[in-house]
């Protein structure tokens, strides 16, 4: 976990990642506190398909009314591996010259203010 103020300064880092045992094919439900849910945030889900291929998917929420998320694998033989929440800060990401960093579509990238990760371990049944 890492957490900074709105401008991406005064950061606190914790090395511990939470973990949870989940059966293959089962979703992982997460809930967010008001202090995160009422700000822009992104979820990134990493999973392993039935063919053993690792993939990622992500979604951004900006409306301030998404307080929970269900990370569902794409099939009954797929396994969620990691669920990561990123709280988006007010500051733009910049290069060393102070110029804004842009995504492939030309949009400015925002700095991530906080990151919380959940490591999902396959449960033996």
**Tens digit of pLDDT for each residue in 99-108?**
888 877 777 7
Compute the average pLDDT of residues 64-83: 93
pTM: 0.78
Under 8 Å CB-to-CB from 107, ≥6 apart: which residues?
none
Instruction: Give the count of domains, the chain.
Output: 1
Distance CA 77, CA 32 (A): 27
What SS3 string covers 11-38? CEECCCCEEEEECCCCCEEEECCHHHHC
Q: Which domain holds residue 19?
A: 2-122
Q: What confidence tens digit (pLDDT) does each residue in 29-54 have? A: 999 999 889 988 999 999 999 999 99
CATH code of 32's domain = 2.60.40
């Amino acid at each position: 976990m890492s957490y900074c103020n709105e401008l991406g300064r005064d950061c606190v880092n914790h090395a511990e990642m939470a973990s949870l045992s989940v059966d293959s094919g089962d979703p992982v439900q997460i809930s967010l506190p008001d202090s995160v849910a009422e700000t822009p945030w992104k979820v990134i889900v990493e999973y392993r398909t039935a063919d053993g291929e690792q993939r990622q998917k992500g979604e951004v929420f900006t409306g301030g009314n998404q307080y929970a998320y269900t990370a569902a694998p794409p099939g009954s033989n797929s396994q969620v591996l990691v669920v990561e929440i990123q709280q988006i800060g007010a500051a733009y990401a910049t290069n060393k010259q102070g110029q804004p960093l842009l995504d492939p579509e030309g949009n400015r990238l925002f700095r991530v203010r906080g990151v919380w990760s959940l490591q999902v371990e396959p449960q033996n049944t």
